[in-house]
Copies of this chain bind each other. A is one copy, B any other.
Amino acid sequence: MNEKFFDLKKEKQDRMINAGLQLFAVNGYRNTSTDEIVAAAQISKGLLFHYFASKTGYYSFLYDYITRYALLELNTRIRPGKHDFFELERAFLKAETALMEQYPSYLLFLDSVRLEGDKEALASLNKPEETVFSFYKEREAESDYSAYLRMDSRETFTSVLGYVKAGIMREVIRDKAQGASEYQRRMSAILDSFQRLAASL
């Protein structure tokens, strides 16, 4: 990519980032044409290629950028250590909500990458193993789960929570810009519900 992209006005940068996050997240790589992207970003076709050289270049830039950005935010908010499991999950949720303020589709985009079927698109990603989700896994692994031991193995339970998260996200955020708050509400309810359950054992 062309580093001069970062010299653009922040507002324009974010338009160009959000256009791709949203369209790729909802439609997938192949179903998103560069025409759609530039229309959503309100730029010309040439400019997209001026900064990102190719569609795959743009795709991998978005992945890099948003991964780095999200990890920065998460690392700032959530320090390593033995947090109570449910408190940790609520902190995640809060961070996600904050991030969605600026990049509404970022979480759906990151999730969509895991389902992406286009080989070229996947091959373009620089460090596909350095995911935001592995940060989640690490924090969850070291969290304090002792109060809920009878519930089930931590692994089973955290992966269940992951599936639930992804499921709700897809149901709620898809196509709707306002989905973030709905996502937050439903995830909150689930966390409360699970914790009550755990406490009653």
Contacts and interface: CB of A to CB of B under 8 A. Distances in A.
Nearest to A166: B167
Interface residues of A, number: 33
B27 A193 contact: no
B117 A28 contact: yes
Contact of A31 (B26, B117, B190): B117
A184 B29 CA distance: 31
Interface string A144-162: 0000001111001001101
A66 to B, nearest CB: 19
Contacts of A151: 197
Given A156-B193, A163-B168, A166-B167, A200 B30 contact: no
Interface of A: 26-32, 114-115, 117-119, 150-153, 156, 159-160, 162-164, 166-168, 170, 189-190, 193, 196-197, 200-201
